Chains A and B, each alone.
Chain A
Amino acid sequence: MRNPPLSNPQIGADGALTHLLSTEGLPREILLNILDTASSFLEVSDRDVKKVPLLRGKSVFNLFFENSTRTRTTFEIAAKRLSADVINLDVARSSTSKGETLLDTVDNLVSMHADMFVVRHISSGAPHLIAEHLNRLGRSDIHVINAGDGRHAHPTQGLLDIFTIRHYKKDFSGLKVAIVGDILHSRVARSNIHALSTLGVAEIRVIGPQTLLPAAMETMGVSVFLDLRAGVSDCDVIIMLRLQSERMNGAFLPSAREYFKCYGLTPEVLAFARPDAIVMHPGPMNRGTEIDSEVADGPQSVILKQVTFGIAVRMAVMSLLAGN
């Protein structure tokens, strides 16, 4: 019915990545190119002088309409290691409270010669709105990186997760990956599902109570499990999701205690997975709610490596978008 046909706004006419908005619809070659580039950046962080000049003279604006010190910091470190100038705007507390619209804020920053926006927003689709606005203005030289929008996407987290999986498992083709917990509200889960589907893992499982599973989930190409033990059986990778405190009591779940009893990852549950299974978590963890400390700090946990890899992956994304 619609005209013109809907096109993916993160891919330019030449097929190259203009913005990073979602892992959905990202071709395999682009995904692998980001992972390979990130590998080459890994050693930069081990140097005495942790800097390369790839983004020298460029201005990266961290536009966080939703607070997150942790994610903002990792983007800031990544941009600084690429020698960019980083400007942090705590928009949640400034412009929008004065009534300025999202696109007005963007127009103002464009006038200040921004080269890249790292955007986090509470509403799904906000980074798309900014990217399409820039595309309409003909400013394909300004790039948008989605740092998390509503429940929709958190593509750099998805990329660092597949980077971590490749690091430990080398090949995606035979893998069974379980994603456990609050799938409904999780942009991380969606970003992982799209990336893992494109890379052709053997099976993606989502595990959680029905209150935390989105409708028609199986249409995204995943198997749905309500039982944790059955779900993690024979899995190679277990990705635990953070349970937000506001969901712990009320209509989604009766209590954190009961959630841990049914869906918490303990050594006993982990024993159902393959012996060489890795355990991942996007952080910050709720110990004793979704994961037992013994597992979080145990030999199969790669949670802190994810954080290290996250810097390299974000450097890779920024560097590729800037045309390097």
Chain B
Amino acid sequence: MLNAAVLIKNGRVVDPKNRVDRVADVFIDGGRIAAVGSPPQGFVPNTVIDARDRIVCPGLVDLSARLGALEPELSAAVGGGITVTACPPDTQPPLDEPGLVERLVRRSAALGLARVVPVGALTQQLAGERLAEMFSLHEAGCAAFSQVQYPIFDTQVLFRAMQYAATFGFAIHLQAQDPYLSRDGVAHDGEFASRRGLPGIPVCAETVAIATALVLAETTGARLHFGRLSSAAGVALVRKAKSAGLNVSCDVAIHHLHLSEDDIGYFDSHARFVPPLRSAEDRSALRDAAADGTAALCSDHTPLDEDAKLLPFPDASPGASALELFLPLTLKWAEESALPLETALARVTCDPARILGIDAGELTVGRAADLCIFDPAETWRVSAETLCSDGKNTPFLGVELTGRVKATLIEGRVVFGDDLAFDPNVL
């Protein structure tokens, strides 16, 4: 099966990394891209997929998806066209031991679904006090290191963590939120939270943390990535640092491109996120940052059981299930912002792959044949039944979305939508 020769015919190939957007055939041999356009010499396909009227693009790369149970979540990933997903270290127990990382890599690889790229804990137990064994964790497969939503109160520890990571050239993924300024807060500190009496998290909680980390990164030479930015002022700081030549990147969670504080409505716990949904102006700045390439996009998938959301808004767990909504919500943003498909797909393929420093997110000859084939016009309604993930928690329940994944291939194997593949002899 590994040597399977696959032909994907007649699709519109959109490969942002190689600036390709045209109708073309894709040839896969031995699990790798053999050619795009004309067939390689002597190519005889044993599987043909007709992708007429469909988009053929690199498999999506997700900068953060919490996985819970591996099988349903990785099935959800490939169902959403995602072929690589970074797993943040706030697992139970946290990814601060090489053995845990090896186990995650081994167990996820055995499923043969989306590839999992672990992000290791920056500090032991994510407690923000003692450094985790970054070198050993890297050997075990960690692509970067993060505290996720756990604070490092002691800036000296953050400084040392950056120095240590920079020693080996490891990237640090930070979620910028000052723990003091965000204390007790559950919603954006603005008009809506004031009206509803929800404790607020001011924008300065984000900008203070970004500014601190940028200064430390400049001093230490650490490679920094800011995950899940939420504010106009936050992306402005990162944009400025980038133009000043600092090796820094950022991403925005897909929900923050579509929702704002008003979507909390009458205390809808499905609209509770960390960082919080902010104002319409912030949302618009996040859309611009994604459009101009300052920010990549991320699903920030967080599957939760029903009980975690059946609580008063401030007590409910934050986050939403998003793997299967990631592509359609990206397409929706692209359509609303009148962006070329190539630009939009770059934010979910080659850009996150570059941030993670992995070979993925492109249809370059010789690379692993990880692809997504989707129907850009098919509409579907989000419901608990249409989601493969264990997490049915999404503020988009009941919403009709456009764009549906028809097939996902990993190393040339159809791991989702195999009814599309057929034998050429039957033609």
Contact = CB atoms under 8 A, between A and B. Distances in A.
Interface of A: 1-4, 6, 8-9, 24, 101-103, 121, 123-126, 128-129, 132, 149-153, 187, 190, 214-217, 219-220
Contacts of A9: 266
Contact of A152 (B191, B198, B258, B311): B198
Contacts of B202: 215
A220 B194 contact: yes
Given A2-B265, A6-B265, A124-B267, A150 B197 contact: yes
A67 to B, nearest CB: 17
Nearest to A4: B398
Nearest to B255: A1
Question: For A125, A151, A219, which residue has the most chain B Cβ atoms within 10 angstroms?
Answer: A125
B314 A150 contact: yes
Contact of A124 (B196, B258, B398): B196
B197 A129 contact: no
Contacts of A102: 311-312
Contacts of A187: 197
Contacts of B193: 214-215
A312 B55 CA distance: 67
Contact of B314 (A2, A101, A123, A217): A123
Contacts of A124: 196-198, 267, 312-314
Interface residues of B, number: 30
A187 B196 CA distance: 9
Nearest to B270: A2
Contact of B310 (A1, A103, A149, A152): A103
10 contacts: A2-B263, A3-B400, A121-B312, A124-B197, A129-B310, A150-B198, A150-B312, A151-B197, A152-B196, A214-B194
B198 A151 contact: yes
B379 to A, nearest CB: 13
B154 interface: no
Nearest to A133: B310
A123 B310 CA distance: 13
B195 A24 contact: yes
Interface in B299-332: 307, 310-315
B390 interface: no
A129 B272 CA distance: 14
A215 B191 contact: yes
Contact of A216 (B194, B265, B395): B194
Nearest to A184: B194
Given A151-B198, A215-B189, A128 B267 contact: yes
Nearest to B187: A124
A3 B313 contact: no
B266 A216 contact: no
B309 to A, nearest CB: 10
Contact of B266 (A8, A121, A190, A214): A8
A44 B313 CA distance: 39
B268 A3 contact: no
A128 B395 CA distance: 17
A2 B395 contact: yes
Question: For A132, A150, A187, which residue has the most chain B Cβ atoms within 10 angstroms?
Answer: A150
B200 A125 contact: no
Given A2-B399, A3-B398, A128-B266, 15 more contacts: A2-B263, A6-B265, A6-B268, A121-B312, A123-B315, A125-B196, A129-B313, A132-B266, A153-B197, A187-B197, A190-B195, A215-B190, A216-B191, A219-B191, A220-B195
